[in-house]
Amino acid sequence: MEKTDDFSADYAPDDFAPAQDIERHTPSASIPRMVEAFQHPAGIVARQRPGGAVGWQGVVLHIHIAPAASYEMEELQEATLVAGRGIVGDRYYTGTGTYSPKPDVREVTLIEQEALDALQRNDPPLQSGPIILAPGDHRRNLTVRGVPLNHLVGRRFRIGETILRGGRLNFPCKYLEELLGSPVYLPLYNRSGLNCGIERGGIIRPGDVIELLEGEA
């Protein structure tokens, strides 16, 4: 069975404006149309509302990319992030992901290790027993610890030398259940990760510190 590139719910991409001033490293025909994170409806609303967790500090545990739609995820020890594009070598950087024809916020995707730990504890008990998801199984780019992702829609945060913008939460779909043979849909609901845009590119590595940036861009 093929692996999908994103188990988020579909959106109406024609309602979103593509990001501007994309750095062009490949011919224009292969450049994906991204939605600027703070121009996504969720990002717009979140930017208008103060609040959310502060005073935290997290860390990158794992970095994964897939070179094209349905390919296995590959773990990296160093990754290059390009503003307006994504992670060099990833299917959404090259526009070869399953959902690449649909403009959205997907330059970088993150998921909390705490959510994966909770599935392994069967917490809350929404399935018959523990579920083990390896870092490459969930098909997010970054597995992180100590980062309140649900609080970061409409917020800027630093990872190593890069700066990301939280655009929208990611939502699970039934396809991952079929793919893994595990009932992950309900356990991952509302903790399935965060889709981000890249404000400032650079190099990231496992072990890099993640911290909130307060104030305007």
Q: Which residues contact 64 (CB under 8 A, 6 or more apart)?
A: 73, 74, 75, 76, 135, 136, 139, 140, 141, 142, 143
Six token digits for residue 140: 């997010």
Q: How confident is the model at residue 137 (pLDDT cuts 50, 70, 90)?
A: confident
Give mean pLDDT, residues 58-83. 94
Cβ atoms within 10 Å of 98's Cβ, excluding its own: 16
Give the 3-state DSSP-derived string for 164-214, with helices as H, strands as E and coil as C: EEEEEECCCCHHHHHHHCCCCHHHHCCCCCEEEEEEECEEECCCCEEEEEC
Q: What angle do CA 101, 103, 109 make, to 5 degrees?
A: 105
pLDDT at 5 over 60: no
* Share in percent of the chain as helix, strand, coil (round to 5): 20, 25, 55
CATH 2.40.50.100 is the classification of domain 13-213: no
Give mean pLDDT, residues 196-215. 95
| Cα gap 144→193, rounded to integer Å | 10
Helix (H, G, I), strand (E, B) or coil at 114: helix
Q: Which residues contact 103 (CB under 8 A, 6 or more apart)?
A: 13, 16, 18, 32, 33, 34, 35
**pLDDT reported for residue 4:** 47
Taking the whole predicted model, whether its pTM rises above 0.85 is answered as: no
- How high does pLDDT run on average in the chain? 83
**pLDDT reported for residue 26:** 37
Per-residue pLDDT tens over the stretch 141-154 = 999 999 999 999 99
**pLDDT reported for residue 1:** 40
**pLDDT reported for residue 41:** 94
**pLDDT reported for residue 144:** 98
Write down the H helix ranges in 77-197: 91-94, 113-121, 174-180, 185-188
Per-residue pLDDT tens over the stretch 7-35 = 444 333 333 333 333 333 333 346 778 99
Give mean pLDDT, residues 49-66. 94
**pLDDT reported for residue 217:** 52
pLDDT at 213 over 90: yes
Helix (H, G, I), strand (E, B) or coil at 44: helix
Contact (Cβ atoms closer than 8 angstroms) between residue 49 and residue 25: no
Give mean pLDDT, residues 104-109. 94
**pLDDT reported for residue 94:** 93
Give mean pLDDT, residues 163-188. 81
Distance from the Cα of residue 181 to its chain's centroid: 23
**pLDDT reported for residue 22:** 33
Q: What angle do CA 135, 76, 168 make, to 5 degrees?
A: 60
Give mean pLDDT, residues 200-211. 98
Q: Which of 106, 81, 104, 107 is nearest to 18 (CA)?
A: 104
| Cα gap 7→189, rounded to integer Å | 11
| Cα gap 165→168, rounded to integer Å | 9
